[in-house]
Chain A
């Protein structure tokens, strides 16, 4: 078939007209910006800080940061003090040592950014850029020659131009305007920072976040378009990592000690950590959603002693006594089947071992004889139906298969496992959602670590992160965490079975109200509440043991 006839059949003229219309619309959208498309919100110059000898050379680059957080190279107009700079950002320091600036101004826009340049050499001089505020302009005068126009801001300077801070510390910034009458004055600024972990308030008080790195503090003249930038280098002492100035000794190999550790795990703030201290005020314990915290962690032994690193200022109300922390967690085992070779003590011992090596401070012990369930009885069948059977009688302790003060673990044979489609998914579960954390079901065919995982639920631990393995790192959870939904990872070649708890989980398991250690009355001492208690409320012989009251060496 000839091409001409095909063209005719497809009505080329009509199609061409439609395409033309589309092109016009597309051109309009490109020109005007499609609704919702990201816009440039800041110009960022790299490097933020540089030090050069006199006559030294440095290439600067500028990118535009878009409203969606992305960056892309952007065309800017360069200017500089203390040297010369080419249109491509090639800066050469002049002959005079001092602190200077390289300024990038967005072309066809008003956004700017500044980089601080220190030129080393003999002597020191400081030059400030003179950079007219395009929105305010310079007064041009009027008909009344006696009227003195108000001074205009012709340049701005953010100080300090660069600063190094420890995580969690603060820095007050100043924003000074150079006026057209050659005076200087503090001017109002809109403050922003590129540090997504840190904050800066409306007065220019910057608080470093918990993550080390080099960030920017940006001050933009309110009502104008002049801006200046300061480089902030946030450092971490390596021992902690989040919002603290406390030097922590790290994981000690010494037993029988408390350890103070940071809750920040892999740069993320776990969702189920308690005992968060954002400052000296420990009343924020358990409620502070921030990650600026330290954790007191149980060791596996029995006599906790606060193990403070140099630099820690212990408050006068810190732990003043030693109490046993190795609580025996008794479990009562009920089996529905007697598979050859099955020995639940192996799993109890493994749970105990895992809790010990992770410094949970508890020991799992099978207490008393193992019970058996007859599924042919009404009660036996009901129990095998799952958590609901225990709820129906209103009191789990009335159930003859239950032993009060124990975690009751029901091992159930595959063919007796609930035929409910939902429950068929489980290989173990804890009835914590039904208000019965002391009831655990484990299905035939479970893994060795299943009991430890389910006891973790009874101790108020939730699944580590949400979803499956690839997301765990995203949330900062170690891949080896026992509270993962999958405790065996086929994609992990070196260590497919997981075996760890985080310190935050250890803390929560010990202190959280919903932990069965507390709600189940396992401790012989008073329940730990994690609430502040004054020194007079905690005499030396008291069995009441609140969270340690820590006086951080806050600046």
Chain B
């Protein structure tokens, strides 16, 4: 029996539908926050943290959106509160340790200065790494995310983060 003249068209339709379903399934893969956290907070990042982020972005395109949010917002308010408490504790321990050392001078900075400095650094690393990650992922969406960040005024970010955004954007090819 000869095939129906519409068979090929329907076959193509089935293939397209299957592809759409498969593609939708892929896009639903959630962004693994642990992978991003490892990258956003590592010191030397020599254990494949960035490679993992790039791989994650291939499986979960929403990774770019998450990193863009991390770049723009930094750690969440809850995380900042936690860090503040932690750093206050660190300062007090350090001050106690220093006070017990008869050979040591005073710390020379207040708790507020201490917390402001190191909390600022955490935020700086966090946002800077987000920018760097976008640059490493590349592609149109990442470029758009970086371009979008550059639409802000430079003083919207710590200088280091602003430099990181430029570095990441400049490393991407294309307008």
Q: Does B45 contact A (CB under 8 A)?
A: yes
Complex alpha-carbon distance, A269 and B47, angstroms: 20
Which residues of B from 58 to 107 have beta carbons under 8 Å from A? 75, 79, 82-83, 86-87, 90, 93-94, 97-98, 104, 107
Minimum CB–CB distance for B83 against chain A, Å:
6
Interface size on A, residues (CB 8 A): 50
Say which residue of B1, B6, B37, B125 sits within 8 Å of A469 (CB atoms).
B37
**Which of B43, B49, B94, B125 is close to A353, meaning CB atoms less than 8 Å apart?**
B94
Instruction: Decide yes or no whether A491 CB sits under 8 A from chain B.
Output: yes
With an 8 A cutoff between CB atoms, is B134 at the interface?
A: no
Of the candidates A346, A353, A467, the one whose C-beta lies within 8 Å of that of B109 is A346
A-B contact count (CB 8 A): 139
Whether B42 is near chain A, meaning CB under 8 Å from some CB there, is yes
Which B residues, 94 to 144, have Cβ-Cβ distances below 8 Å to chain A? 94, 97-98, 104, 107-109, 113-114, 117-118, 121-122, 124-125, 128, 132
Contact yes or no, A353 B93, CB < 8 A: yes
CB distance from B54 to the nearest CB of A (A): 13
Please give, as numbers and ranges, the residues of chain B lying within 8 Å of A428 by CB-CB distance: 43-44
Chain B interface bracket (under 10, 10 to 19, 20 to 34, 35 or more): 35 or more
Residue A109 lies at the interface, judged by CB distance under 8 Å to chain B = no
Chain B residues whose CB sits within 8 angstroms of the CB of A419 once the complex forms: 167
Tell me the bound Cα distance from A495 to B87 in angstroms: 10
Most chain A beta-carbon contacts within 10 A, residue among B50, B98, B164: B98
Contact (Cβ within 8 A) B34 A470? yes
Which of A415, A467, A468, A487 has the most chain B CB atoms inside 10 A of its CB? A468
Q: Considering residues B33, B42, B114, which has the most beta carbons from chain A within 10 angstroms of its beta carbon?
A: B42
Most chain A CB atoms below 10 A, which of B47, B98, B104: B47
Nearest residue (CB) in B for A421 is B171
Q: Within the complex, what minimum Cβ distance (angstroms) separates A477 from chain B?
A: 13
Partner of A447, one of B52, B93, B97, B122: B122
Per-residue interface assignment for chain A, residues 325 to 364, with 1 indicating a CB less than 8 Å from any chain B CB and 0 otherwise:
0000000000000000111011001101100100000000
B151 at the interface (CB under 8 A from A): no
Q: Is the CB of B1 within 8 A of A349?
A: no
Q: A341-B113, A345-B108, A496-B82 are in contact. Are A487 and B171 (CB under 8 A)?
A: no
Whether B163 sits at the interface, judged by CB under 8 Å, is yes
Query: Is the Cβ of B37 less than 8 Å from the Cβ of A427?
Result: no
- For residue B107, which residues in chain A have a CB less than 8 angstroms away from its CB? 343, 345-346, 349
CA A489 – CA B7 in complex, angstroms?
57
Closest chain A residue, CB of each to CB of B41: A486
A424 to B160, CA, bound (A): 12
A468: min CB distance to chain B, Å: 3
Q: Report which of A349, A421, A426, A468 forms a contact with B38, defined as CB distance below 8 A.
A: A468
A486: which B residues are within 8 A, CB to CB? 37-38, 41-43
- The answer on a CB contact under 8 Å between A468 and B50 is no
B108→A5 contact, CB < 8 A: no
Question: Is B174 interfacial (CB-CB < 8 Å)?
Answer: no
Query: B1-42 interface mask toward A, CB cutoff 8 Å, 1 = contact, 0 = none?
Result: 101101100100000000000000000000001110110111
> Is B48 part of the contact surface with A, judged by Cβ < 8 Å?
yes
A512 to B168, CA, bound (A): 40
**Contact, CB under 8 Å: A341 / B109:** yes
List residues of chain A with CB within 8 A of the CB of B132. Answer: 424-425
CB distance from A320 to the nearest CB of B (A): 31
Inter-subunit contact A343/B109 (CB<8 Å):
yes
- B46 in the interface, Cβ–Cβ < 8 Å? yes
CA distance A447 to B129 in the complex (A): 14
The docked-state distance in angstroms from the alpha carbon of A495 to that of B160 is 27
Task: Identify 8 residue pairs between A and B in the complex whose beta-carbon atoms are under 8 Å apart, listed by A's number.
Answer: A345-B108, A356-B97, A427-B43, A447-B118, A448-B90, A450-B43, A469-B34, A488-B41
Chain B interface residues (CB < 8 Å from chain A): 1, 3-4, 6-7, 10, 33-35, 37-38, 40-50, 52, 75, 79, 82-83, 86-87, 90, 93-94, 97-98, 104, 107-109, 113-114, 117-118, 121-122, 124-125, 128, 132, 158-160, 163-164, 167, 171
Using a CB–CB distance below 8 Å, which chain A residues touch chain B? 5, 8-11, 341-343, 345-346, 349-350, 352-353, 356, 414-415, 419, 421, 424-429, 444-448, 450, 453-454, 463, 466-470, 485-491, 493, 495-497
Minimum-distance CB pairs A-B, first 9: A468-B38, A414-B160, A486-B41, A425-B45, A445-B124, A353-B97, A9-B4, A485-B42, A488-B41
